[in-house]
């Protein structure tokens, strides 16, 4: 097992290298507007997963995935040489669906705001189902001077 800090450094380096190579060396016309968002590498430094996003529709995402798959060998070679490891890590590309998750969360928040406004509308003019003060308040006895001590009370 490797040191976790070393694994994180290598993962960050893999992300930077792949982003640089995709930007400067891959000339595949199928490659769309791609952003390398993250990279993770296993503790034994043999397998790396690279996450990416693509601007566009499903067709653009599919063509970019095909372009990355065809350039995988060159990318792996570049990463292996730059990291100086005995074994070049295998690269797996995963489409990062952050935009879909963000849209879903925004939709949920909009629904919650709508529901909150509906609750506020229904609450205006509402009355308590029972008494406004459901707890009984103890009335204090009036002080008369004829105070009676409780049975078994203090006998001084």
Q: What's 58's domain CATH number?
A: 3.30.300.20
Residue 40 lies in a domain: yes
Residue 150 lies in a domain: no
Pairing between β-strand 33-41 and β-strand 90-95 as defined by DSSP bridges: unpaired
pTM equals: 0.65
Q: Which residue has the tokens 């590309």?
A: 93
Q: What does the pLDDT look like over 96-139, one tens digit per residue?
A: 887 788 888 999 998 888 888 888 888 887 777 777 777 877 87
Inform me whether the pLDDT recorded for 37 exceeds 80: yes
pLDDT grade for 143, boundaries at 50, 70 and 90:
low
* Number of domains the chain contains: 1
Inform me whether the pLDDT recorded for 151 exceeds 80: no
Residue 90 CA to residue 53 CA, distance in Å, equals 20
pLDDT grade for 65, boundaries at 50, 70 and 90:
very high
Residue 2 CA to residue 155 CA, distance in Å, equals 79
Q: What does the pLDDT look like over 83-97, one tens digit per residue?
A: 888 889 999 999 988
Range of the domain at 61: 4-97
Give the Å distances, CA to CA, from 149 to 57, 139, 153: 86, 18, 6
Residue 147 lies in a domain: no
pLDDT grade for 3, boundaries at 50, 70 and 90:
confident
Using alpha carbons only, give the angle 28, 63, 38 rounded to the nearest 5 degrees: 85
Better-scored residue on pLDDT, 45 or 97: 45
Better-scored residue on pLDDT, 101 or 12: 12
Residue 8 CA to residue 41 CA, distance in Å, equals 8
Is residue 61 within 8 Å of 24, Cβ to Cβ? no
Q: Which residue has the tokens 């049975």?
A: 151
Inform me whether the pLDDT recorded for 155 exceeds 60: no
Residue 60 CA to residue 51 CA, distance in Å, equals 16
């Amino acid at each position: 097992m490797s040191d976790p800090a070393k694994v994180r450094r290598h993962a960050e380096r893999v992300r930077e290298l792949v982003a640089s190579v995709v930007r400067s060396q891959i000339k595949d016309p199928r490659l769309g507007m791609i952003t390398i968002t993250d990279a993770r590498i296993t503790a034994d430094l043999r397998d790396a997963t690279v996450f990416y996003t693509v601007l566009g529709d499903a067709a653009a995402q599919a063509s970019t995935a095909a372009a990355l798959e065809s350039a995988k060998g060159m990318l792996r070679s570049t990463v292996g040489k730059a990291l100086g490891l005995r074994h070049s890590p295998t690269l797996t590309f995963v489409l990062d669906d952050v935009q879909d998750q963000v849209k879903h969360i925004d939709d949920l928040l909009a629904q919650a705001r709508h529901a909150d406004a509906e609750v506020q509308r229904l609450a205006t003019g509402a009355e308590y189902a029972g008494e406004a003060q459901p707890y009984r308040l103890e009335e204090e006895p009036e002080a008369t001077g004829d105070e009676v001590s409780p049975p078994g009370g203090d006998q001084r």
